[in-house]
Amino acid sequence: MMPTTREWIDKAEEDFEVAGVLAKSKTGRFSNTICNHCQQCTEKYLKAVLQENSLPVPRTHDLVELLDLVVPVIPMLEASRGACQELTRYATIFRYPGFDTSREDSKRAISLCASIRRDVRHYFQLESL
């Protein structure tokens, strides 16, 4: 595995772990942040696939755009298109006033992210954590 690919994966894992820690909060105040970290984790895993295959890594938060580039490498990820559409909306807008997510949104984001994470980790032959 290329060193930069490993960096993408490490950063993705950091986002996933932070989302998990925040999800355990009893206040339920961190839904926006959890959703954003799930989007970021997914984005970084998709970019890791591009990096490892020496494909251009675009500067975008649009997971569907990234998925279009990754599916030729990992065809089974086509089944994650809906998840990518859902998670993309958590990239920026919910970080600003006037837009909020719910605890249910954050639980769903973790589930969607975990599924894509599992598939990409399988591709890289990394153990599930």
pLDDT tens string 26-80: 888 899 999 999 999 999 999 999 999 999 999 999 999 999 999 999 999 999 9
The chain-wide mean pLDDT, for the chain, equals: 96
Half-sphere exposure of 88 (CA within 13 A, CB side): 15
Residue 85 belongs to some domain of the structure: yes
Residue 94 belongs to some domain of the structure: yes
Q: What total number of domains does the chain contain? A: 1
Region 11-32 average pLDDT: 95
- Separation CA 22–CA 47 (nearest Å): 24
This prediction's pTM: 0.96
- Name residue, tokens 């989302």: 19
Q: Which of 57-66, 87-96, 107-116 has the lowest mean pLDDT?
A: 87-96
Residue 95 belongs to some domain of the structure: yes
Residue 56 belongs to some domain of the structure: yes
Residue 128 belongs to some domain of the structure: no
Residue 129 belongs to some domain of the structure: no
pLDDT at position 95 over 80: no
Per-residue confidence (pLDDT) for residue 127, from 0 to 100: 84
Residue 39 belongs to some domain of the structure: yes
3-23 and 103-123 helices, crossing angle to 10°: 150
Structural domain for 118, as ranges: 3-123
pLDDT at position 121 over 90: yes
What CATH number does the domain containing 109 carry?
Answer: 1.20.120.330
Residue 46 belongs to some domain of the structure: yes
